[in-house]
Chains A and B, each alone.
Chain A
Amino acid sequence: MGTYKQVIVAAGVALTLALTGCTSTRNEGAAEQGAATQPAGSGGLPAIASPQEVIAKSLGAMRGKKVQMITISGDGAALTRAWKERTVLGFREVGVDFTAINANFDTQVLAQQVQTAIDQKPDALILHNADLSGLAKLIQQAQSAGIYVIVLNLGSNAQSDAYIGPNWTAMVGKLAERAAADCKAMNKKDVAIISGFASDTGSLLTVESATQVFKDQGMNLVASQPGQYDPTKANEITRTLLQQHPGLCALIGNWDGMMSGAANAVAQAGKIGQVGVYTTDSSDVACDGIAKGTVAAAVNYGGGTTMGDDAVAVTQYLLQSGVTPGASRTALFTPTQIIDKSNYQLAGSCYAAAAQ
């Protein structure tokens, strides 16, 4: 019994070593090749160039480059779909080899996907983080492997080449002020926060900012719970809160996909108009709620409208710039606008992304 197992194991190990030994050199070769064509630091364009030359040189610097987007949110989320729609379009335009995958809200899977992506050595990674520290090591690993990292929406402790997303503190502060004002108008004080994961940037800053605003406005924060970006969970939390706190006037949370669950709970309890649901992001889920009155206000921070294009633009910049990956470390903030009954029908307020 023992011998044949040893033989199998040994053969497997030998095979693996042999195969990996053969192919690993190919990657090194590719990296060297990339370094040769990469303009060093200059941005790749000469000081004076004709428009035709600009097109030829810039596109030449990007053609065939590999970019992968990995998001924690799944294809069920309008946000993910909108990003994918815009990035696919944008990268196709400039000849970049682009793929998008998602971890469907499983943080372990996200880590595996990012690690796997790094192993493949693409030129740039666009990540949607699940945890402030979760991908930190991997982001650093990617950068030291010569991969640009752009982080969307939810930042990381480890600074990427670029963060693109809202200023969560200001955005949620604005939304919380609106909620407090609405509560005051109803002469109520009880408010609650439903965050996403416990430890992602958006949720951390949402809790911090909203808590501060509510305190300043004299509101009574009765609960602050993570809804795991899961509408079912938000629904459960809301139903419990509505029973425990009859005086509840506002529920604030940081994603409309999740807060739609809270809005449904409010509607089912027959408390439309008495309990307001406030959420960031403004996909058709939020705007449908606004139309029905189940959602009091949402925030358009460009998530589904402009952020995908922003990601393409920044990636283009990085790929052409010749900047060493990990050297630029910038944060780019998107504009935010509160959407409610008064403006939700205006163009650009809400977005919808087709199912894929």
Chain B
Amino acid sequence: MPKDAFALTGMSWRHRFSFQRSLAELLGKRWMEAMVPCLLLVSVLTYFGVTADGFLTLDNASTLSQNFAELGLVALGMTIVLIGGGIDLSVGAVFGVVNGFALIAFRLLDWPVPLVVAAAIALGALLGSVNGVLIAYAKTRPFITTLVTLLAYRTVAEYIDTMYSPRMATTTRIDPIWDMLGAGRLAGLTTQFVLLVVVALVVHVLLSRSRWGWRITAIGSSRTSARRAGMNLPAITFSTYAVAGALAGAAGLLTASRLEQSSASTGLGMEFAVLTAVVIGGVSLAGGRGTAMRALIGALTVAAISQGLTLQAQPRPLYSAVLAVILLVFAAADLKWGKNRGKAIQKIYMAPGRFRLRASPDIYQQGGVWELNDRLTGAQAIGLGELDGPEDVVLDERGRLYCGDRRGWLWRFDGPDSPAELVARVGGHPLGLVIDKDGNIAMCVAGMGLYGITPEGQVTPLATDVKRTWYRINDDSAIRLADDLDVAADGKIYFSDASTRFDGDEYFLDLIESRPNGRLLRYDPDTGQTTVVLRNYAFPNGICVSHDGASVLINSSNLYRIDRFHLAGPKAGQLEPFAENLPGIPDNINRASDGGYWVAFAGMRTPVWDLAISMPKFRRRMVKELPFDEWLVPNLNTSCVIKITEAGQVVESLWDGQQKDHAVITSMREHDGYLYLGGLTNDRLGRIALPQHEIPARAGSERVVSAP
């Protein structure tokens, strides 16, 4: 169980929850789109279960399943066409024609039933292919084309009715397979329902797992992109109509075997019921969105409404009226949802929280440790003109420098005056770096996770995800903002994942939200496993294993504090304050040669931002109502480096009075009497020589001691 650090925020347990955050995260879920149809279905079933006497009986379930199956098959076909960006209004007419044809073949022509089945489905596919040829190859508009074929096929159905119905009505033929199709049971379920389930599974697999399905979705989402990706648009579009026709034909066949009647009205207006069904299910009329399961949920809803109203002996026109209202509401909602969902989520995704902070310490005292100085001014520039955003800097045993770059590169310098040498292209912005005893580099890459690099430049991912927290709405398995790391004595790597809600380039959004979204992770190189050791930590940033190796120091950029997480000893697994209420935003932390630690302040606290932190409503309004560039944000351009003792006492601060060359300092590393500076937005690394008294190895001076 990871240790929970929520208490550090100073807020009560109820602040762990946020309705806005849950709503935003729920809206972001793809399955949320299926929730509304599911709720509607449950409501419809509940409503009729309560009000329609006999709705919840086995007999009714069986009748419902038969009607549902026939509607469902057609709805699956319609879904395929709609996902591909088309529409097929002729499905009802195809259904009617095939119904008539199947009866002719069965009763008048005396064909064997398997042949009738094959021929009926083939005829459906053929009728659908006519649509396909016209739309895919002759480039006619789907709506008008299928409207025309609807009328044409309807005429065929009437012709069949006129010419053959009288003879069919007076011919009887009994066939066990035919009866099995129409009135049979398989494992207690109606044949139609079993067939629907089988077909739905096939369609589901095809749509979600096959190249054909993906291409249909691609075409429906964007024809232009699909064409540019080299897809054969006409062939795929054609196939959707052919399949829709075949499915409508299969449904017509089932109806023929069940009712054994051919009528000019068979399938009349079915396209309306089917469209309503798929739109209820959330299949978008605009194309590119929909699943087999959704189509079935919609079809079941429509079938249940039909069945429920029939049971209540309601006048038939009421059914059409109910469907019309539902279709209208859902079509409008589909449009609004599709258009505004992303915007809505964006507006409410950030749910500002609150931290209880103490007033920032006074840093303007004359002669105090915070007094402004120019010790960083005039630092030697390394890699000027080459580097862009070296967040961290690290040196190997040979004194070679390594640093990252926001372009996703890792650089090496053989010495402070050597030219830059590209070690590897990582793909994401390398942040924290560490070198193990073999000279391999481990690094945190924003948006990607923990990566390892050999000196030769071979990149391997070490940790990109952890086990998902089951009760979190947002999937927190991905390591979204790996920030800094250090290697413990046992070889395990401790690293910070600053935010589970915002990606690397949006780190400031997490600062503005001010909720404990981060965590401390541990990578075990022996097992390759990564586990969460500390959760609900507010923006964990710098990570540093203590001099004795018994604990890890963690910088919280958001709570202006440093905590000690004990790895060994009696307090193992406990979290303890190390330095609280700092006047700046602690970024990275590294060991100093004198037994203390260097900490980089990426920026200094400001009274106005401290106030903003205590006013979540203000920040919510700000992010909702103001454009991004007018937001009030934490100060990230007045940097300094401080020295802090093992006891957590700040003993000195190093400033660049000009704030020009090192606008933001996010990291520093001490090596051989020099301090190297890195900055997330800087164009160089900096190097300053440390005074002799700060370098015990050379000067042999005493360790800086301070009261606890």
Contact = CB atoms under 8 A, between A and B. Distances in A.
Interface of A: 1, 4-5, 8-9, 12, 15-16, 19-24, 27, 68, 74-75, 99-109, 111-113, 115-116, 118-121, 130-137, 157, 197-200, 203-204, 207, 225-226, 228
Q: Which 8 A-B pairs have the closest CB atoms?
A: A134-B261, A119-B59, A199-B165, A132-B169, A198-B165, A199-B169, A107-B263, A20-B58
Given A116-B310, A120-B54, A157 B170 contact: yes
B162 A198 contact: yes
A200 B278 CA distance: 35
B310 A113 contact: yes
A225 B83 CA distance: 42
B57 A131 contact: no
B646 interface: no
B244 interface: no
A133 B54 contact: no
Nearest to A99: B313
Given A16-B61, A21-B58, A120 B169 contact: no
17 contacts: A8-B38, A15-B45, A20-B56, A23-B57, A101-B314, A107-B259, A116-B311, A119-B54, A131-B263, A134-B260, A198-B163, A198-B263, A199-B165, A199-B166, A199-B168, A204-B170, A226-B264
A255 B593 CA distance: 108
A260 to B, nearest CB: 20
B682 interface: no
B169 A204 contact: yes
A5 B293 contact: yes
B207 to A, nearest CB: 12
A151 B162 CA distance: 24
Contacts of B317: 104
B60 interface: yes
A200 B265 CA distance: 13
A105 B317 CA distance: 12
Contacts of A20: 56-58, 60-61
B166 A207 contact: yes
B30 A119 contact: no
Contacts of B313: 68, 99-101
Nearest to B261: A134
Contacts of B66: 115
Interface in B13-60: 30-31, 34, 38, 41, 45, 49, 53-54, 56-60
Contacts of B293: 5, 9
Interface string B239-270: 00000000000000001001111111111100
B63 A136 contact: no
Interface in B295-315: 306-307, 310-311, 313-315
Contacts of A108: 255, 259, 263, 265-267
Contacts of B163: 198
A305 B35 CA distance: 54
Contacts of B260: 133-134, 136-137
Contacts of B166: 198-199, 203-204, 207
A68 B258 CA distance: 22
Contact of B261 (A9, A16, A130, A225): A130
A137 B63 contact: no
A106 B58 contact: no
B316 interface: yes
Contacts of B262: 131, 199
Given A12-B41, A120-B311, A226-B162, 9 more contacts: A4-B31, A20-B61, A100-B313, A104-B317, A106-B316, A107-B265, A108-B263, A134-B263, A197-B165
Contacts of A9: 293
Contacts of A119: 54, 57, 59-60, 62-63
B266 to A, nearest CB: 6
B259 A198 contact: no
B183 interface: yes
A192 B194 CA distance: 48
Interface string B433-470: 00000000000000000000000000000000000000
Contact of A115 (B54, B63, B172, B208): B63
Contacts of A23: 56-58
Contacts of A100: 313
A134 B259 CA distance: 6
A9 B67 CA distance: 18
A133 B172 contact: yes
Most chain-B CB neighbours within 10 Å: which of A116, A121, A135? A116
A226 B307 contact: no
Interface string B137-174: 00000000000000000000000011111101110100
A8 B314 CA distance: 30
A103 B54 contact: no
Given A23-B57, A112-B63, A112-B306, A104 B165 contact: no
Contacts of A198: 161-166, 169, 263-264
B170 A132 contact: yes
Contacts of B266: 107-108
A136 B63 CA distance: 17
Given A20-B57, A20-B58, A198-B162, A133 B183 contact: no
B202 to A, nearest CB: 15
Contacts of A137: 182-183, 259-260
A255 to B, nearest CB: 16
A120 B52 CA distance: 11
B154 to A, nearest CB: 12
Contacts of B255: 108
Nearest to B67: A112
A19 B208 CA distance: 33
Contacts of A99: 313
Nearest to A204: B166
B265 A112 contact: no
Contacts of B67: 112
Nearest to B315: A75
B261 A111 contact: yes
A157 B171 CA distance: 9
Contacts of B168: 133, 199
Nearest to A16: B61
Given A133-B168, A134-B260, A24 B57 contact: yes
Contacts of A19: 49, 56
B31 A116 contact: no
Interface string B312-327: 0111110000000000
B686 to A, nearest CB: 50
A104 B316 contact: yes
A54 B584 CA distance: 103
A246 to B, nearest CB: 24
Nearest to B260: A133
A205 to B, nearest CB: 10
A131 B56 contact: no
Identify the interface centre among A120, A133, A228: most chain B CB within 10 Å of its CB.
Answer: A133
B31 A1 contact: yes
A228 B316 CA distance: 18
Contacts of B267: 108
A207 B263 CA distance: 17
A9 B201 CA distance: 13
A285 B41 CA distance: 44
Q: Which of B163, B260, B268 has the most CB of A within 10 A?
A: B260
Nearest to A74: B316
A108 B57 CA distance: 22
A137 B66 CA distance: 15
B168 to A, nearest CB: 7
A22 B56 CA distance: 9
A74 B315 CA distance: 9
B653 to A, nearest CB: 53
Contacts of A74: 316
Given A21-B58, A133-B260, A199 B161 contact: yes
Contacts of B58: 20-21, 23-24
Contacts of B170: 132-133, 157, 204
A9 B34 CA distance: 12
Nearest to B308: A116
